[in-house]
Structure 1
Amino acid sequence: MTDALDNAPLLELEVSEWLNHEGLTPEDLRDKVVLIEVFQMLCPGCVNHSIPQAVKIHRKVDDSQLQVIGLHSVFEHHEVMTPQALKVFLDEFGVKFPVAVDKPRDGQRIPSTMKKYRLEGTPSTILVDRKGRIRQVQFGQMDDFVLGLLIGSLLSEQD
């Protein structure tokens, strides 16, 4: 985890478009554990591991307790990873949870939210507790068991 983000409040996602949702607000996330799965649709680790993992979690945990959010952060192959292609990808992979398209920065390779969070690449996982504090930022694939333990711990935390 990036030390500067340890227990920091969830930073606003800078989004150019939402898919599968009209757009989440801080009020929508109040008192929920939040799992943000940062991905690119041409990332092998995302396609083979993190997206299927997020889909499984979304299917198994009640939305009133855990909000799964996808964040499509394109930092390469910009010309082919368009929102239109992303819509097809989400349908093909059965992604029903809200997906935000990370806002591009003019003339820059790295999109806005990815830069703000200082993410190293995709896949990346961000976990936020019920109080809206960032508790985990992980680059790379996270083991199902480990992620399950982290989410379970956050879901069971008392104020």
Structure 2
Amino acid sequence: MTDLSPSGLHRRRALRAAAALGAIGALGLATTGCSGRDPAPDSTFVLLDGNKFTTAELKGKVTLVNFWATTCVTCVKEMPSIVATYQKYQDKGFETLAVAMEYDPPAWVLNFAQTRQLPFKVAIDNTGDVAKQWGDVKLTPTTYLVDKQGRIVKRYVGEPDFPALHRLIEELLAQQA
């Protein structure tokens, strides 16, 4: 018999949330390389200022594409490290693009970007199409590292190991375009 009382519903929701967090935690430890360096999908990103930016404009640069949300605790926690990574490598041909998920209220994204003075491009995926194009991203943070040729080198689900990420960025920056 199912307990439909408020406390019974609360318990079931709490159990589902705990199970989901456990699954996300397990995934957060996993990073996956993309075999054969698949090309990054042709995407058009709508930036906070209303301008558009395309995947084609990333070619020639090593790029971090981070799918995130203002309500994602890990996303908020890792953002200072993403900023530091951008600042460390921006002068060497490195780009960062933070893509807010479709369920993230645009006003919250704008406030987050302004109050934390995010120095890189921030886009809002209002329709969810960009997340679908990039492998049907549902979990945040999900981050892709793209080489100078526009190929996906690595995908991270959860917070990356930043020292290892920096080593990979340096390796990719050293390669010819």
- TM bracket (short chain): 0.7 to 0.9
Measured after TM superposition, the shift of residue 21 of structure 1 is 7.3
1:71 maps to which of 99, 102, 106: 99
- Residue in 2 aligned with 1:95? 118
Indicate if the aligned counterparts of 1:35 and 1:68 stay in contact, CA closer than 8 A: yes
Measured after TM superposition, the shift of residue 7 of structure 1 is 1.2
Indicate if the aligned counterparts of 2:60 and 2:148 stay in contact, CA closer than 8 A: yes
- Number of residue pairs aligned between Structure 1 and Structure 2: 145
Indicate if the aligned counterparts of 2:106 and 2:124 stay in contact, CA closer than 8 A: yes
Indicate if the aligned counterparts of 1:43 and 1:123 stay in contact, CA closer than 8 A: yes
Q: Show CA shifts across 1:98-125 (max 9, x none).
A: 1111132xxxxxx222222232411111
Alignment gaps of 5+ in structure 1 = 105-110
Structure scoring higher RCO (CA < 8 A, sep ≥ 6) equals: 1
Measured after TM superposition, the shift of residue 6 of structure 1 is 4.4
User: 1: CA distance between counterparts of 2:117 and 2:158?
Assistant: 22
What SS does structure 2 have at the residue aligned with 1:158? Answer: coil
Alpha-carbon spacing, 1:148–1:100, altered in 2? closer, same or farther (3 Å): same
Alpha-carbon spacing, 1:140–1:100, altered in 2? closer, same or farther (3 Å): same
Measured after TM superposition, the shift of residue 30 of structure 1 is 2.4
Q: Show CA shifts across 1:83-142 (max 9, x none).
A: 1221111111221211111132xxxxxx22222223241111101111111111111111
Bigger proportion of residues as helix:
2
Alpha-carbon spacing, 1:20–1:156, altered in 2? closer, same or farther (3 Å): farther
1:40 maps to which of 69, 91, 99: 69
The structure number with the bigger radius of gyration is 2
Alignment gaps of 5+ in structure 2 = 1-31
* Greater displacement, 54-63 / 86-95: 54-63
2:82 maps to which of 31, 47, 54: 54
What SS does structure 2 have at the residue aligned with 1:62? Answer: helix
Indicate if the aligned counterparts of 2:69 and 2:75 stay in contact, CA closer than 8 A: yes
